[in-house]
Structure 1
Amino acid sequence: MRSTHSLLILALAGCSGQALAGGIQLYEAGQEGAGLANAGSAAQATDPSVMMNNPAGIAALKGTQVSLTGQALFGGIKFDRDGNNDFSGNEGGNPLPFLPGTSLFISHEVNDRASIGFGMYGNFGLSVKYDDDWAGRYFTQESTLIGISLQPTFAYKITDDLSMGIGPRLVYGYYYTKIAIDNNALLPGTPFQQDGNVQYKDTDTGTGINLGLRYQLDPRTTVGLAYTSKVKLEFKDSPSVHGIRNPLLNFAFSRANVDDLEIDMNIPQTATLSVAHQLNEQWTLLGSVDWQDWSDFADIGVSVDTAGGDVSRSVNRKYQDTWHLSLGAQNQLTPKLRWNMGVGYDSSAVKDKDRTVDNPMAEAWRLATGVSYKMTEDMDINLNYTLVWLGDMDVEQTKRNGQSLSGSYPDALLHIVGGGATWRF
């Protein structure tokens, strides 16, 4: 029975790490601040979307306001094999398909001290899909991880200059992964040529909390401090096995009698310090420093329950905490038209030697711009664009039999286009 369990774990080991495929925290949710590369996100309060970054910000909003936003993410991330690669197959095409998203934010001024609000937004997740017969198919073929947050919010003006806010957060998580299984494994030279695959899909909900303070230093300068707690998601389902024609693999899966595969992950906790300073009637300068606890996200527990006993395996992808720094500016071109611009830098959550094809992360530079236009006294619209530059990302992953997938993602980048509208009542 021990050998049967070990064979099953080997077959699922690649699947267990796929939770990392969505390991990217997005600052862009279509809001006006997306055109600032996250600069001033916890300090600037121009619409209800500020609750996503700092719940205290809605205390600065008058009346009732509603923001509806949307964004689309797509990329140029293509894998190139090098001379050290041992696997057959193509290079996978562009694994990052078009990924749309939408968000809704509402704020209401209860009185001159208290405000309430609600947000529904997605700022965590990614989806990758390689060609089925690509060289790295035994590491991953497809993986999607999406987190949608629902956040009721309360903000209160402690003094005329200091506000606090709290936003309990309910996150709905969806996870899907697909990995190829080599039907020739353990039986080299046999006619089992076409791959099988293992698929896994589940949903879960987790809870966390957003906290924030916002302080008006003087009529032109605002400082914001915000914290978001980690959110734990526990995916638990039976893997679905397809196209396994190798009798030894079939025997292993049937003997193991898998009931559940548990994949636990934490959406990282974060801390953000932001400042916004109005130079004059035309220019406002903004900045942010942000910390994200990716080292906690890296520990993924996997357990397999079988009829003959329990087998557990812990996978640590050696992720590390990251830092974000961004600077931005707003130019009030006319009384109705505002131009936003920003540049941001994020350190890498993974060292070069630990990078994997299921989540090819690296340090990133953000170049963002956008415009906000006042259509009427009660309605604004905004459009924004962000270029995320990841550069060259080398990858080398090795199976237990010594075979290596080796190559790089040259000139990798992401495009994020978004926009939205805000109504005031």
Structure 2
Amino acid sequence: MKMLVRSMKVIGATSLFLSSASVLASGYHFGTQSASNQGVANSGAAEVMDATTIFYNPAGMSRLEGTQVTGVLNVVIPNGEYTNIKTTTATGKPVTGGNGGSFGQTTAVPHLYATYQVNDQVNVGVGVFVPFGSHTNYEAGWVGRYQALESKIETINVNPSISYKVNDTVALGAGVSVQYINGQISKALDLGTATKNPAFFGNPAFDGESEVKGNDIGYGFNLGALFNLSEDTRVGVAYRSKIKHTLEGDLTFKVPSALQSTVGKSPALQNRAATLSVETPESFSINGFHQFNPEWAMTADYTWTGHSRFDEIRIKSPGNADSVTVTRWRDTSRYSVGGIYTPNQTWTFRAGLAYDQSPEANDAERIASIPDSDRIWYALGARYNIDKNNSIDLAAIYVHLKSSSINRKPLDPTEVSGGSINGNYSVNSVTLGMQYNYRF
């Protein structure tokens, strides 16, 4: 029964918030909030293409005339496969089961932006976008089911912003963020081990299941500056703050009928409330744009993200000791470049390349619900100008994650009941972007 209690403590520890494998951007970022910038692998913040500059650099609004509205739809089509080597229960017995199938879930995500030019110096705007989000779903009965089954995260950030044009060289921008987060995770429970009958250890017929759901609203800010070094060259810097959340939710359980009268009566298997305190990481970006001639231009971006503040996941539940999952993430760097070709007033074509570092440093600290690794983006995009006030962007990104392994053993006493997981991951994705821009 002590083993059972430990397993209940660790249920939330891969938790509400950081529960899904992001196959677009590193860590748990959604990855792109603009189809136009997506076409240059997110390297185009200093170009200032449209109202999506609210997300990348609010100072860019100073270059937008009149009133502009942009609607974006991103569709992420992931493919993730796991191959087992040796996954064991808490007692060291090999877990039987499959490899989980293709665990990534196709997800469609909208974003909306609007800007208004108050006068020659001041612009205001608001963005409604998804900064974090993903969905993974392993097949029931896979070998890593005691680590994760289904994981889902959804966020919405409302970001009112303002820009001020100091002079022809310098523009400044700022915004505030109101961020809603909703998440859930489910996993199997090795209740057969709690019976102390070796024949039942890791037996799917005696598996239970837990599910955690929670939500919260947090607040932050973002700052930006844009410098016109010449008529053809611009440099921008932007900072987006961390946002502190305390997710409040419910922890619920399912127990197989064969165990209802025994382990099912354990206080550890009773539904209850749970909370998790987390901070989404801050980021700093520096980017550039240069127009070589009327047809050709290039973009570049460097983004640092403070993932290292996520060194553990700590779940609190009334009447229970904290459960802790050690993560030890590191800060990450992302590098991207892009090229732009504009043959005429109707069409603009874009291409980009990016390298995005994973915050997971090694196989021993990788988490089954976030099988992350370093990745490369290959991006293509195009804009069609319907007329002077209407345009459409289309973009596609292929993201290839470096093949990775997981060899995770318990790194905290509350992780012991989850056993160990050892195998290989192969992950990639395609993300499609569609965008409509209207100016009046």
Q: 1:358 aligns with which of 347, 362, 369?
A: 369
Specify the alignment match of 1:342 in structure 2: 352
The one-letter code matched in structure 2 to 1:161 is T
Alignment partner, residue 110 of structure 1:
118
CA contact (8 A) 1:162 1:215 kept: yes
Partner residue, 1:61: 64
Alignment RMSD, CA only? 2.0
TM, length-normalised to structure 2: 0.90
Distance (whole Å) between structure 1 residues aligned to residue 129 and residue 339 of structure 2: 25
Indicate if the aligned counterparts of 1:30 and 1:384 stay in contact, CA closer than 8 A: no
**Does residue 36 of structure 2 align to residue 32 of structure 1?**
yes
**1:83/1:298 Cα in 2 relative to 1: closer, same or farther (>3 Å)?**
closer
Name the structure 1 match of 2:315.
302
| Structure 1 spans left out of the alignment, 5+ residues | none
Q: How does 1:239-388 map to 2 (within 5 A)?
A: 239-245=251-257, 246=259, 249-253=263-267, 259-306=272-319, 311-353=321-363, 354-388=365-399
Deviations 1:342-383 (A, max 9, x none): 100011100232112110000111110100110111101000
Alignment check: 8 A CA contact 2:4 2:194 kept: no
Residues 420 and 401 of structure 1: is their aligned pair in 2 closer, same or farther, counting only changes over 3 Å?
closer
CA distance in structure 2 between the partners assigned to 1:11 and 1:170 by the alignment? 33
Deviating more after overlay: 291-300 vs 22-31: 22-31
Distance of 2:87 and 2:7 partners within structure 1:
23
> How far apart are residue 401 of structure 1 and its match?
6.2
Letter of the 2:82 partner, please give it.
F
Mapped to 2, the partners of 1:219 and 1:321 lie a distance apart of: 35
Q: How many residues align?
A: 416
CA distance in 1, matches of 2:18, 2:181: 13
Q: 392, 397, 405: which is aligned to 2:408?
A: 397
Is 2:105 aligned against 1:97? yes
Give the deviation of 1:93 after TM superposition. Answer: 0.7
2:87, 2:144 within 8 Å by CA — same for their partners in 1? Answer: no
How much does 1:314 deviate? 3.5
Aligned match for 1:166, one of 170, 174, 193: 174
Distance 2:152 2:230 in 1: 45
Per-residue CA deviation, residues 188-241 of structure 1 (Å, 9 max, x unaligned), is 235982421011112111111011001101100011000000112211223111
SS at match of 1:238: strand
Assess if the C-alpha contact under 8 Å between 1:396 and 1:405 holds in 2.
yes
Cα 1:422/1:242, change in 2 over 3 Å: same
Q: Mind listing any 5+ residue stretches in structure 2 that lack a counterpart? A: 21-26, 89-93, 411-415
Letter in 1 for 2:101: G
Shift of 1:152: 0.6
Q: How far apart in 1 are the matches of 2:271 and 2:139?
A: 28
Instruction: Determine the structure 1 residue equivalent to 2:153.
Output: 145
- 1:160 and 1:35 map into 2 onto residues whose CA distance is 28
> CA offsets per residue over residues 7-41 of structure 1, 9 Å max, x none?
43422414312332244223322430111111132
Report the AA paired with residue 303 of structure 1. K
Partner Cα distance (1:192, 1:93) in 2: 17
**CA-to-aligned-CA distance 1:74-119 (integer Å, 9 cap, x gap):** 2111111125662111111111111110010000000000000010
TM-score, structure 1 normalization:
0.93
Identity of aligned residues (%): 23
